[in-house]
Amino acid sequence: MKQPVLFIPFLMALGVPSAGAPAMRAGAAKIDITPEGPVWMSGYAARNKPSEGVLMPLWAKALALEDSRGNRAVIVTADLIGLPMELTDVVAARAMEKYKLERQGLVFNASHTHTGPVVRGNLSVMEPRQAPHREALAAYREKLQQKLLDVIGAALADLAPAELAFDYGEARFGVNRRQFTPKGVVIGVNPEGPTDPRVPVLRVMSPAGKVRAVLFGYACHNTTLTAEFYQLSGDYAGYAQAEIEKEFPGAVALFLQLCGGDQNPNPRSRLEYAEQHGRGLGAAVARVARTKMQPAGGRLRAAYQLAALPFAPHTREQFERELKDANVFRQRRAALMLKLYDERREPRLLRYPVQAVSVNPGFTLIALGGEVVVDYALWAYKEWPQERLIVAGYSNDVACYVPSARVLRESGYEAVDSMIYYGQPGPFLEEVEERIHDAVRQVMKRVGR
């Protein structure tokens, strides 16, 4: 059996350290989470067979931060489609027991690569039905759970004096994909639609001026490689991380998927495009990381809470009709909903994680669950114009798309059809936007922002 490969970085010189930065400690680690052998892949309903080899390894990575008062936070990233709450809650509970790490200080984020394995509990309607494939995925999830705990522990064990710096770069290959046509909104290219070109960059250096870790993010679906690709990879985000780690040997590069639910890479569907986007993004991050940047450090604070997002009203009768639909995924969603109706557990609300981690002075990470559309990031930038923000989606749970009120009114895949594949009863009510806004305001207040 292949043993987990766990890496703790060595250091590389990068000029003169910044003077007078507040005392912080940081640690970083990464662990190989590539499945052993062929495995069913997630993200595209059109796939009809398991993976065929590995284009690049898949990684889980962790960045641990600790302030002078002993307050700690760990940011975990993974080259995966999404991490369900039933998995992250278990890992968080074990991290609390083993490492005394409070839940509000632990962030999980998935890159949303569509060339990674199925993670049981995410996009459940698309999971394979054949017993051998399901057994392989169950075994993978058990190993993944342990590896996430291991990488958290390794990052905490690596804590050492560090200097943090934060700034922004820019990337432009992400485009709004909600294209308006006479037949409604389709997934295409909408050059007039809202986007978020910001690339937040957090650099972690030793007091001697050596790079230890680089945390960065971008708001764009990790889907350059489309359904016809059957090799496992991290897509553009994987190439970007590799580019940064090449630029700073021994450093750990961690990618955060931001609010890219309605953003696609452009162009796409060719391997060279994934390489192009990833290397371009990595180069943009490296350019920022080689500048002076804004010092970050001081007090570390974190907050976490669950909001309740209401689904639009639904009935048993609608799913009985849907059970007869020609679309097999609609049939599966209907069967799931009818089972829940039988058990008197039909879903009316979604438990939705909202989190903030702040290093003051420095930056604040807002971490939102689900496939969040770009509107939420643009709102946060306006709500806190003086703050240096990282606004991430795909964090702590990826239960479905999270549309804004505008997107719900416009309809389309992100608002309606995507809920079929996630096994959710249907669209949200428009009030979810304000509920999320309120929850974000609350966690931001609790971290003093």
Task: Report in angstroms the alpha-carbon separations of 64 from 77, 384, 429.
Answer: 12, 25, 37
Buried-state track 85-100, b at ≥16 Cβ within 10 A, e below 16: bebbeebbebbeeebe
What's the predicted TM-score (pTM) here? Answer: 0.94
Task: Report in angstroms the alpha-carbon separations of 105 from 91, 289, 351.
Answer: 13, 25, 19
Predicted pLDDT at 16: 39
Predicted pLDDT at 20: 46
Determine the residue type at 158: D
Residues of the chain above pLDDT 90, percent = 92
Please check whether residue 57 is in contact with residue 34, taking contact to mean a CB–CB distance below 8 angstroms: yes
Predicted pLDDT at 144: 98
Averaged pLDDT of the chain: 94
pLDDT at residue 2 is higher than 80: no
- As beta bridge partners, residue 294 has 166
- List pLDDT tens digits, range 186-201: 999 999 999 999 999 9
Task: Kindly state the average pLDDT of the residues 348-363.
Answer: 97
Residues of the chain above pLDDT 70, percent = 95
- List pLDDT tens digits, range 217-269: 999 999 999 999 999 999 999 999 999 999 999 999 999 999 999 999 999 99
CA nearest to 365, candidates 160, 125, 201: 201
Domain ranges of the chain: 6-299+354-359+366-398, 312-346
pLDDT at residue 378 is higher than 80: yes
Least confident of 132-136, 194-198, 277-281, 404-408: 132-136
Cβ neighbors of 445 (< 8 A, separation 6 or more) are none
Confidence of residue 22 (pLDDT cuts 50, 70, 90): low
Predicted pLDDT at 3: 42
